[in-house]
Copies of this chain bind each other. A is one copy, B any other.
């Protein structure tokens, strides 16, 4: 069996409480004692039992992260950033995949598993306004993501609407007028689909371009195949267009492939613009102009916000909403105007 405090204490010739004091950097320990204890720790290869420590102290130094799926590049990269940010703060991260499924998201919020963690960062997809009550949980919770409900907990999010408006204006600024949008999804009442669509419409309106719903294609899952399918549908409609705004990079890349298969040149015939700034966007052919929603900032801020909640007095803080800054990353698929 692994060594315990008592084993170390016996070897060092002190009480086990003194060993505990050394480990926890209790200030009043004589240097000689400390050294003696540390030698014993090294000799036995002692490692504190985290379960016992958690039970007693109430802290686990572990956070939970719930994302839809890791094989969606956006969430994989986001998860990587969050795990790294957490690690910098001395936390480890437990990862759950919800599949974007409302039931599983709700179940997670009530999972006894969370008592092994100090808090949860969740990027919900399936939950809606009707689930507000479920967010009233007795542990630190940070919502991460694209929605802007009036929810009773901390919320770190991106400027979906502003960014989508800016992206559309970027396309308009480069001379495009018939701009298609891929990814609309009326089922998501206030999700990013709705918000990005709204930004898109605002930009059109601001420039006196009439909204044409034949240029808007629905896509629920936002996988690459959905982008491809949407583009095929768009081409079949026979409505002319000179630009495509994909509501995420993955769909934009799928759409771009179909465009090229159809013999259309990007960006000469059709400009393509995405959203997310995945690693991949820099390496497609042509490379993808996209919106960087500030993911690195989102990741760090989500962790910091959760830590504020975890710390003393954290539960007294009012719910906060933090917004990331975005930027448009110009690449080949949609050169600036």
Q: Which residues of B are found within 8 Å of A254, using beta-carbon distances?
A: 283
> How long is the Cα–Cα vector from A51 to B52 in the complex, in angstroms?
7
Residues 227 to 285 of chain A near chain B (Cβ within 8 Å): 228, 253-254, 257, 260-261, 279-280, 283-285
The answer to whether A283 touches B50, judged by C-beta atoms less than 8 angstroms apart, is no
Within the complex, the shortest CB–CB distance from A249 to chain B, in Å, comes to 12
Q: Which residues of B contact A52 (CB under 8 A)?
A: 51, 55
Question: Which B residue's beta carbon lies closest to that of A254?
Answer: B283
Give chain A interface residues in 109-155, CB to chain B under 8 Å.
Answer: 110, 112-113, 115-116, 138
Is residue A188 contacting chain B, with contact meaning CB distance below 8 A?
A: no
Assuming the contacts A49-B55, A279-B71, A283-B254, asked whether A84 and B97 have C-beta atoms less than 8 A apart, the reply is: yes
Copies in the complex: 2
**A2 CB–B CB distance under 8 Å:** yes
Instruction: Tell me the bound Cα distance from A97 to B45 in angstroms.
Output: 24
Tell whether A62 is near chain B: CB-to-CB under 8 Å. Answer: yes
- Contact residues, A38-54 vs B (CB, 8 A): 45, 47-52, 54
Task: For the complex, give the distance between the alpha carbons of A111 and B225 in Å.
Answer: 41
Identity of the chain B residue whose Cβ is nearest the Cβ of A227 in the assembled complex? B283
Contact (Cβ within 8 A) A116 B84: no
Interface check A181, CB cutoff 8 A: no
* Chain B residues whose C-beta falls within 8 Å of the C-beta of A84 in the assembled complex: 97
Q: Say whether A83 faces chain B, with CB atoms less than 8 Å apart.
A: yes
Q: Indicate which residue in B49, B83, B94, B280 contacts A280 across the interface (CB closer than 8 Å).
A: B280
- Asked whether any CB of chain B lies closer than 8 Å to the CB of A37, the reply is no
Binary B-proximity of A81-124 (CB < 8 A = 1, otherwise 0): 00110010000111111000000000000101101100000000
Interface flag for A77 (CB, 8 Å): yes
B116/A96 in contact, CB under 8 A = no
Distance from A118 Cβ to chain B, minimum over Cβ atoms (Å): 11
Residue of B nearest to A64 (CB): B92
With A and B bound together, what is the CA distance between A120 and B50 in angstroms?
Answer: 16
Q: Does A76 contact B (CB under 8 A)?
A: yes
Q: Of the candidates B69, B93, B116, B225, which one forms a contact with A95 in the assembled complex, judged by CB atoms under 8 Å apart?
A: B93
Q: Determine if A225 and B283 form an interchain contact, defined as CB atoms under 8 angstroms apart.
A: yes
Q: Which residues of B contact A51 (CB under 8 A)?
A: 51-52, 54-55, 60, 115-116
1/0 per residue A177-189: CB within 8 Å of B? Answer: 0000000000000
Does A73 belong to the interface (CB within 8 Å)? yes
A contact set with B: CB distance below 8 Å = 2, 45, 47-52, 54-55, 60, 62, 69-71, 73, 76-77, 79-80, 83-84, 87, 92-97, 110, 112-113, 115-116, 138, 224-225, 228, 253-254, 257, 260-261, 279-280, 283-285
| Beyond A224-B280, A257-B283, 4 extra complex contacts between A and B, CB < 8 Å | A48-B112, A70-B77, A70-B83, A83-B96
